[in-house]
């Protein structure tokens, strides 16, 4: 085949910064210099009409409608001008599924092959509830040529439900982070009790449980929140941190550039991500690549990423919203620098063996080729 296969990637790019946006940056950076048979045109689906930390129902609905109208207009333009062979559409589910269905409908009517890429880990929960979200996601899957999930539980759930067009592909680290990780020496975790959280400082990320857990730990400690926040959330976290001690032990950096985030992680004793729900979180990949042990909730792909059930785990998993489990896990790693160091180095080795963009891109390319060969073009009825 002499002509390159044309991929229209519909996904967010920063700003605002987020998990799917980071994934998009990694993929586009890699294919901007990669030699091969694929050409990617990008359609930016980043939210434009609300702050990413503003989760109010009205803002999500009104902003979502405006973003959807923009996406529809741009998709029609790209189909007419680019004429892509495949449309690769990323999804965070929830209300965005209405937009996904509309875009898939437009693509199907133009006889375009569609890959839907689910960047979340709540599919098993949806399947149990059988709610409106499960109904929509089932319709999205049925109308798509191929479907990507990012964790084993989601894959198994959809397979049991009878869906045949599913593949499980993990998220990669960037080529830049791979180079940094390869150059690192064996890392020794310092006995400094420095705890770092990286992400949007919102309740769903378990930040209140994190502060409550740390507040029960005696002695000197430091908790750093790296990422955007609303002032009301910051004020409440500070208030809760002062219930048992009047000393100030939490800090908020706000959003930082990539290299400064890496520095914060490298200087940490442990990175903690106590989210209620996750898919395949980039910050866990980053911590592992930088040799930092991780404590995170057992949601999405996190247990797989950290190899929790193996002889060489990269961290500790706890139940969501469980302050006691989280406190015990933190104490375990703060009090045992040898264990923390071993887990950090296990993570770095796993990253370099399993999650580089050069290896993961091969899985995307195989799926793109298989999707091109698929003669079962979906119709919209």
pLDDT at res. 232: 97
pLDDT at 1 (0 to 100): 44
The predicted structure's pLDDT at residue 245:
75
Q: Is pLDDT at 314 greater than 90 in this prediction?
A: yes
Q: How many CA atoms lie within 13 A of 145 on its CB side?
A: 23
Strand, coil or helix: what is 295?
strand
pLDDT tens readout for residues 74-98: 999 999 999 999 999 999 999 999 9
Identify the pLDDT of residue 243: 84
327 pLDDT above the threshold of 80: yes
Chain segment 276-287, per-residue pLDDT in tens: 999 999 999 999
Percent of the chain with pLDDT over 70: 96
Asked if CATH classification 3.40.50.2000 holds for the domain at 5-172+356-373, the reply, yes or no, is: yes
Class of residue 313 by CB neighbours under 10 A (exposed 0-12, middle 13-18, buried 19+): buried
pLDDT at residue 358 greater than cutoff 60? yes
User: Partners of 225 in the beta sheet?
Assistant: 197, 252
Question: What confidence score (pLDDT) does residue 57 get?
Answer: 75
Lowest mean pLDDT among 53-67, 75-89, 326-340: 53-67
Q: What is the pLDDT of residue 185?
A: 76
Q: Pinpoint the alpha helices (H) of the chain.
A: 19-33, 57-81, 96-109, 123-129, 132-143, 152-160, 175-183, 207-215, 231-241, 258-266, 282-289, 302-305, 323-334, 337-354, 357-373
pLDDT score recorded for residue 64? 82
Q: Which CATH architecture has domain 175-354?
A: 3-Layer(aba) Sandwich (3.40)
Tokens of 196: 């770092």
What is the pLDDT of the chain when averaged over all its residues? 94
Q: pLDDT band at 48, cuts 50/70/90?
A: confident
**Contact (Cβ atoms closer than 8 angstroms) between residue 143 and residue 104:** yes
Least confident of 160-164, 189-193, 307-311, 316-320: 189-193
Model confidence at 289: pLDDT above 60: yes
What integer pLDDT is reported at residue 32 of this predicted model?
94
Following DSSP, what letter does each residue of 306-336 receive, concatenated? TTTTSSS-SEEEE-TT-HHHHHHHHHHHHS-
Q: Please report where in the chains the tokens 């375009």 appear, as a residue.
A: 112
| CA trace torsion 265, 281, 84, 113 (10° rounding) | 160
Q: Is the pLDDT of residue 246 over 90?
A: no
Exposed, middle or buried: residue 75 (CB in 10 Å: 0-12, 13-18, 19+)? buried
- Model confidence pLDDT, tens digit, residues 189-214: 766 799 999 999 999 999 999 999 99
For the chain, residues classed under CATH 3.40.50.2000 are 5-172+356-373, 175-354
């Amino acid at each position: 085949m002499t002509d390159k296969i044309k991929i229209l990637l519909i996904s967010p790019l920063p700003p605002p910064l987020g998990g799917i946006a980071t994934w998009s940056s990694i993929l586009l950076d890699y294919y901007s210099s990669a030699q091969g048979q694929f050409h990617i045109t990008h359609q930016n689906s980043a939210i434009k009409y609300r702050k990413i930390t503003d989760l109010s129902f009205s803002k999500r609905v009104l902003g979502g409608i405006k973003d959807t109208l923009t996406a529809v207009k741009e998709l029609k333009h790209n189909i007419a001008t680019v004429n892509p062979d495949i449309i690769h559409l990323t999804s965070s589910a929830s209300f965005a599924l209405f937009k996904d269905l509309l875009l898939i409908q437009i693509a199907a009517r133009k006889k375009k092959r569609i890959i839907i890429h689910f960047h979340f880990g709540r599919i098993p929960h949806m399947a149990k509830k059988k709610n409106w979200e499960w109904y929509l996601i089932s319709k999205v899957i049925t109308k798509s040529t191929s479907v990507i999930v990012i964790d084993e539980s989601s894959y198994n759930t959809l397979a049991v439900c009878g869906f045949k067009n599913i593949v499980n592909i993990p998220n990669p680290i960037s080529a830049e982070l791979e180079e940094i990780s390869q150059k690192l020496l064996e890392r020794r975790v310092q006995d400094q009790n420095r705890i770092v959280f990286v992400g949007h400082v919102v309740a769903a990320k378990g930040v209140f449980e994190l502060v409550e857990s740390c507040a029960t730990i005696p002695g000197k400690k430091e908790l750093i929140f790296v990422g955007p926040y609303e002032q009301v959330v910051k004020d409440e976290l500070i208030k809760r941190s002062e219930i048992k001690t009047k000393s100030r032990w939490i800090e908020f950096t706000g959003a930082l550039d990539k290299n400064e985030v890496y520095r914060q992680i490298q200087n940490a004793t442990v990175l903690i991500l106590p989210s209620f729900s996750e898919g395949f979180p980039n910050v866990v990949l980053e911590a592992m690549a930088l040799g930092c042990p991780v404590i995170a909730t057992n949601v999405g792909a996190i247990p797989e990423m950290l190899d929790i059930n193996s002889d060489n785990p990269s961290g500790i998993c706890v139940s969501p919203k469980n302050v006691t489990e989280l406190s015990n896990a933190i104490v375990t790693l703060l009090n045992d620098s040898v264990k923390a160091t071993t887990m950090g180095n296990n993570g770095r080795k796993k990253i370099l063996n399993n999650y580089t963009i050069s290896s993961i891109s091969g899985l995307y390319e195989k799926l793109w080729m298989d999707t091109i060969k698929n003669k079962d073009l979906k119709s919209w009825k």
